[in-house]
C-alpha cells in the first residue's frame, strides 16, 4: 500500500489517480498509522512552508514522517514535500521544517528579470557524477517536467542532488538519498515523462 | 536577463501553449465575442486529445457558472483529473473560498478568478494565503479606452458586459501585490477577431508585473502565437478556436514556434 499524506495542503486527487495507474492500493490519509503501516509514503503539497508545517504539527504527523523515513521504506516528496525535508525556509523564518536533510530553502532572486513563480515546463538534467537514480530510470536526460514554485532547495550535501534545473540559476530539482526521493516539480502533472517517475516509485 | 548570461546560467523555462475550452452545461462551446456559441464536444474527451498532443496546460472556462448549478462543472473536472495528467485551470463564476476549495478538491490545479476579485479584492489575498499563490490566477478582461492620449485599458467584469472604470495595468499590479500567482489577460478588443493578440497590452503587463502572464484573445494563426510570446513578452499563449476547429494542432503550433526560435516543449 502507498499512503499519500493528507495534511490539508492542496489537491491530492491527481497524485492519487496517477499512482493508481501502477499500484492497486493507494490511500490518501492523515492518520499516522496509515503511514507507519504503508509500504511507501508520499508527502505531496502545495502552498506555503509555514502553513504546511503548522498543518503537519496540528495533525501530529511530524514524528510519524520521520519514523517512516527511518524505517527505510520508500518515501517520496513532491513540490512542497521536497522543501519540508529541510530544516527551515526563507518563506517562513523561525518555522522549523522536518530537517531530514541539511541545507536551506531559498527564494528565487527578483533581480534577474525572471518571473516568479517559476511556472511551467522546464528541463531536468541529471547531476553529474551521480550513480543512476532508480526512480529516474527510463526518464531521458533533459526531459521536461511541470514546475510551479517560488522557492528552491539548496542541500548542504551536494551528493544527494539527483537532478538539476536552470531558472536564472541552477537549482536542485530532485534529490535522493537511500530510501528518500523528492522532486520540486510535479511528476503527476508532467504527462508521460512524469508518469515514468510515478511508475518507477510505485514499482520500487 | 543580462546578468544570467554573464553567470553562464540560462533560463530553460519554455513558453506555454494553452488550449481553452469554454464549457456550458458540461459541453464545450466557443463564444465569439462572448455571445455567439457553438457546440464542440465533451470536455473530458477534448482534454484527453490535448493531453495526447502535449498541450502544456488546459483551461476550462465555465461560462454559465454564475447562473447555473456548479455541480456539472465539478463532475467534469473530476472526470478530467482522473485521466489527464497535466495542469488544469478552471475559471468562471468563482466567488468564494468554498468555490475554490471545491474545484481544487475535484482535481483542478489552479482556479481563475475574475469578477469576484474586482468586487472583493480580499478574496485574492485570502485565497492565496489559504491555498497558495501558485493556484490563484486572476483573469482580467481588458478593453482599450477610446480617445486617451496614451494607451489605456479598462477592466470589464461579468463576462465583459460591465465596465468598472478600473485601469487594467494598475489592477494587475494590485492583484500581484494581493498574492495572485499568474494573470490570464484577455483583450476584449481582439477576442474573437482572429486578427492577433493585443501585443501592446500584453507587453505592458509583462513588463509591469513580475508574475507570469497568459495572453488571450485574438489568436487566428500560428504567427499570432509567435508575436505575443516574443514581442508581447507573454509567458503563455491561450487559444481556442484555432485548435478546437483543427485549423492547427498544438504540435504544429509548437513546431512552428520552435522553428522561429521560441523556446517550447516539444
- Domains assigned to chain A: 2-202 (3.40.50.880)
Of B42, B53, B6, give the one whose Cα is nearest residue B242. Answer: B53
Distance between B106 CA and the closest CA of chain A, angstroms: 7
What is the pLDDT at residue B4? 40
- B4 and A165 in contact by Cβ < 8 A? no
Judge whether A186 counts as a catalytic residue: yes
Domain annotation covers residue B144 = yes
**B219 touches A at CB < 8 Å:** no
Overall average pLDDT of the B179-200 stretch: 96
Pairing mode of beta strands B182-187, B136-144:
parallel
Boundaries of domain holding B78: 10-259
How high does pLDDT run on average in chain B?
A: 88
Contacts of B82 (CB under 8 A, 6+ apart): A17, B107
**B210 touches A at CB < 8 Å:** yes
Which residue of A91, A121, A125 to mutate against B (max B Cβ within 10 Å)?
Answer: A121
- Chains A–B, number of C-beta pairs less than 8 Å apart: 123
- H helices of B107-249, in order, are 115-119, 122-131, 168-178, 199-208, 222-230, 241-244
ipTM value for the complex: 0.92
String of DSSP letters for A98-109: --SSSEEEEEPP
What is the pLDDT at residue B37? 35
What is the pLDDT at residue B39? 43
List the single range of A22-31, B18-27, B110-119 with lowest mean pLDDT: B18-27
Q: Encode pLDDT of B55-81 as tens digits.
A: 999 999 988 655 556 688 899 999 999
Domain annotation covers residue B169 = yes
Looking at the predicted structure, is the pLDDT value of residue B54 above 90?
yes
C-alpha cell recorded at residue B258: 520552435
Rounded Cα distance between B194 and B220, Å, is: 4
How many domains, chain B?
Answer: 1
Pairing mode of beta strands A75-78, B162-167:
unpaired
Which residues in chain B have Cβ-Cβ distances shorter than 8 Å to A114? 1, 4, 11, 13
Q: Encode pLDDT of A16-33 as tens digits.
A: 999 999 999 999 999 999
Where does the pLDDT of residue A10 fall: very low under 50, low under 70, confident under 90, or very high at 90 and above? Answer: confident
What is the pLDDT at residue B3? 41
Of A174, A177, A179, give the one whose Cα is nearest residue A204. Answer: A179
Alpha-carbon torsion, ordered B132, B172, B90, A91, to 10 deg: -10
Rounded Cα distance between B209 and B182, Å, is: 10
**B7 touches A at CB < 8 Å:** yes
Q: Encode pLDDT of A139-165 as tens digits.
A: 999 999 999 999 999 999 999 999 999
Rounded Cα distance between A190 and A69, Å, is: 26
Domain annotation covers residue B265 = no
Whichever domain contains B197, its CATH number is 3.20.20.70
Alpha-carbon torsion, ordered B67, B68, B72, B78, to 10 deg: 30
Domain annotation covers residue B266 = no
What is the pLDDT at residue B29? 79
Percent of chain A past pLDDT 70, that is, above it, reads 100
What is the pLDDT at residue A67? 97
Amino acid at each position: 500500500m502507498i499512503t499519500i499524506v493528507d495534511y490539508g495542503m492542496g489537491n491530492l486527487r491527481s497524485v492519487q489517480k496517477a499512482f493508481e495507474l501502477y499500484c492497486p492500493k493507494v490511500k490518501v490519509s492523515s492518520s499516522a498509522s496509515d503511514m507507519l503501516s504503508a509500504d511507501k509514503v508520499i508527502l505531496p503539497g502545495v502552498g506555503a512552508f509555514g502553513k504546511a508545517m503548522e498543518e503537519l504539527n496540528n495533525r501530529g504527523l511530524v514524528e510519524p514522517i520521520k519514523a517512516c523515513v527511518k524505517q527505510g521504506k520508500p518515501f517520496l516528496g513532491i513540490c512542497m514535500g521536497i522543501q519540508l525535508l529541510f530544516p527551515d525556509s526563507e518563506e517562513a523564518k523561525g518555522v522549523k521544517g522536518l530537517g531530514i536533510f541539511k541545507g536551506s530553502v531559498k527564494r528565487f532572486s527578483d533581480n534577474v528579470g525572471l518571473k516568479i513563480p517559476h511556472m511551467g515546463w522546464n528541463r531536468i538534467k541529471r547531476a553529474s557524477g551521480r550513480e543512476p537514480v532508480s526512480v529516474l530510470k527510463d526518464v531521458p536526460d533533459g526531459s521536461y517536467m511541470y514546475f510551479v514554485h517560488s522557492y528552491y532547495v539548496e542541500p548542504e550535501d551536494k551528493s544527494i542532488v539527483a537532478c538539476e534545473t536552470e531558472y536564472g540559476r541552477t537549482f536542485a530539482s530532485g534529490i535522493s538519498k537511500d530510501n528518500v526521493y523528492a522532486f520540486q516539480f510535479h511528476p503527476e502533472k508532467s504527462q508521460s515523462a512524469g508518469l515514468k517517475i510515478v511508475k518507477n516509485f510505485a514499482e520500487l | 536577463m543580462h546578468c544570467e548570461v554573464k553567470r553562464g546560467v540560462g533560463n530553460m523555462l519554455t513558453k506555454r501553449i494553452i488550449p481553452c475550452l469554454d464549457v456550458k452545461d458540461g459541453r464545450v462551446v466557443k463564444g465569439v465575442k462572448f455571445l455567439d456559441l457553438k457546440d464542440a464536444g465533451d470536455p473530458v474527451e477534448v482534454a484527453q486529445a490535448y493531453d495526447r498532443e502535449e498541450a502544456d496546460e488546459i483551461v476550462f472556462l465555465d461560462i454559465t457558472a454564475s447562473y447555473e448549478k456548479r455541480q456539472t462543472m465539478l463532475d467534469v473536472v473530476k472526470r478530467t483529473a482522473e485521466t489527464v495528467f497535466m495542469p488544469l485551470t478552471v475559471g468562471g463564476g468563482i466567488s468564494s473560498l468554498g468555490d475554490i476549495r471545491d474545484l481544487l478538491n475535484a482535481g483542478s490545479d489552479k482556479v481563475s478568478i475574475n469578477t469576484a476579485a474586482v468586487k472583493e479584492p480580499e478574496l485574492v489575498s485570502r485565497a492565496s494565503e489559504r491555498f497558495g499563490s501558485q493556484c490563484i490566477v486572476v483573469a482580467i478582461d481588458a478593453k482599450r479606452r477610446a480617445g486617451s492620449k496614451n494607451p489605456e485599458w479598462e477592466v470589464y467584469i461579468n463576462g465583459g458586459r460591465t465596465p468598472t472604470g478600473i485601469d487594467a495595468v494598475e489592477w494587475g499590479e494590485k492583484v500581484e501585490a494581493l498574492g495572485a500567482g499568474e494573470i490570464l489577460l484577455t483583450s476584449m478588443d481582439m477576442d474573437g477577431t482572429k486578427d492577433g493578440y493585443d501585443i501592446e497590452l500584453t507587453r505592458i503587463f509583462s513588463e509591469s508585473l513580475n508574475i507570469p502572464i497568459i495572453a488571450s484573445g485574438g489568436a487566428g494563426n500560428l504567427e499570432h502565437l509567435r508575436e505575443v510570446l516574443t514581442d508581447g513578452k507573454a509567458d503563455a499563449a491561450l487559444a481556442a478556436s484555432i485548435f478546437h476547429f483543427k485549423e492547427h494542432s498544438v504540435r504544429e503550433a509548437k513546431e512552428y514556434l520552435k522553428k522561429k526560435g521560441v523556446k517550447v516543449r516539444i
